[in-house]
Amino acid sequence: MRKIIFLFVAAVLVCLPLATKAALDQDALIVGSIKDADKDLAQGIIKAYDVESGDEIFSITAFERNVGVKVAVGDIYEDSTPEIIAMPFKKTRNPHLRFFTAEGEMGLDQRIFAQNLLKPKSFDLAVGDINDNGENEIVLVSSGKDKITFIVLKLQEMEGTFKILKRQTLDIAGYTGGAFVSIANIDTADDAYEIITSPINGEARIDLWKFTDEEMVFTANASFGTDEEYTAGMRTTARGEKVYGYMDVSNGLIGDYEYNATDAFTPGTYNIAEVGQIGELCKTADFLAVSMRSEKEVVLYDKDKEEADTINVLSKGSSLAYFEI
């Protein structure tokens, strides 16, 4: 017991994040560093930007090692203020899940043991009320060898830790090199939020899951082509009743997709062509944010599909999340 406590405390002391500038008291785009100029992984730094002006609000060193950082946002502590959740982008033996307040201070620092994950090249995470109980859960996703693993975490307030509500690995073709995950109320037939995944490589498609009776249940699927030009996977994000997806075809194509019970997902009217190669998408209240893989930039597209602004960031292919007050 002494050894375990000592190691935990040492990790907190060594990896304590540094925050600069003001606290978040406004809507902001949260950007996690992924790749540096040499295509190696960057240090795990998180920055918050004013979506309207592009000005930097604050900066946090979430992970001092060069493992990159995936970010998500959600009200985990149920205090009506969102928190920033961070996880290494690169696979590590026992990755840490870290939580930061709007002031940039680290709250929980919890290790996710390797036996709970597959051995992917990367992880992804999302936050939302997936079991319709009025409280948010965290969903971690890893994938590899035509399998996908979901880990659902829930805050245990008395213990001050997160409990694994469910760990479930399912066979699903095409998930060989990682996955994207989002949570949104796509199916308006009920109030529960759905889990949306898409493979990073392979078939360009969107998969819909529901967390029913503490089981992850595959609900619907829509494929957008299996030809060679569509085999680079699909990068997705979700907000409201829509999924926004990117396919690496025709120099990069972004579109929106709406769910219906008959056809699963059908293309909408929000189409942007020739955007180049991207890292991630993130839908804010007024913009679609796109991190570029060729430049250290995040491009903002407005509702008219016009390029409204460009934010200079620390890394290429950055991880994105939306902090909404």
Query: On the CB side of 211, how many CA atoms lie within 13 Å of its CA?
Result: 28
Residue 132, domain member (yes or no): yes
Residue 4, domain member (yes or no): no
Number of domains in the chain: 1
Nearest-CA neighbor of 316 among 286, 299, 296? 296
* β-pair partners for 164: 153
Gap between the Cα atoms of 125 and 142, Å rounded: 9
pLDDT at 12: 37
Residue 85, domain member (yes or no): yes
Residues in CB range of 310: below 8 A, 6 or more apart: 54, 297, 298, 299, 300
Residue 280, domain member (yes or no): yes
Provide the 3-class DSSP secondary structure of residue 12.
helix
pLDDT at 122: 66
pLDDT at 11: 34
Query: On the CB side of 82, how many CA atoms lie within 13 Å of its CA?
Result: 22
State which residues form the domain around 107.
21-323
Q: Phi and psi at residue 114, in whole multiples of 5°?
A: -60, -30
Burial grade of 304 (CB within 10 A; 0-12, 13-18, 19 or more): exposed
Q: Would you give per-residue pLDDT tens digits along the chain (325 residues)? A: 333 322 222 333 334 455 565 678 899 999 999 987 666 788 899 999 999 999 999 999 999 888 889 999 999 988 889 999 999 887 666 678 899 999 888 888 888 765 556 555 568 999 999 988 889 999 999 888 888 999 999 888 766 788 889 999 999 988 877 899 999 999 888 888 999 999 988 788 999 999 999 999 999 999 886 656 566 789 999 999 999 999 988 788 999 999 988 878 999 999 999 999 999 999 999 999 999 998 999 999 999 999 999 999 999 999 999 999 8
- CATH number for the domain harbouring residue 318: 2.120.10.30
The three-point CA angle 106-112-116 to 5° equals 160
Q: Which residue has the tokens 């946090």?
A: 60
Gap between the Cα atoms of 42 and 176, Å rounded: 24
Kindly compute the dihedral angle of the four CA atoms of residues 250, 256, 259, 265, in this order, to the nearest 10 degrees.
0
Nearest-CA neighbor of 204 among 259, 265, 149, 260? 265
Residue 8, domain member (yes or no): no
pTM above 0.85, yes or no: yes
Gap between the Cα atoms of 215 and 64, Å rounded: 36
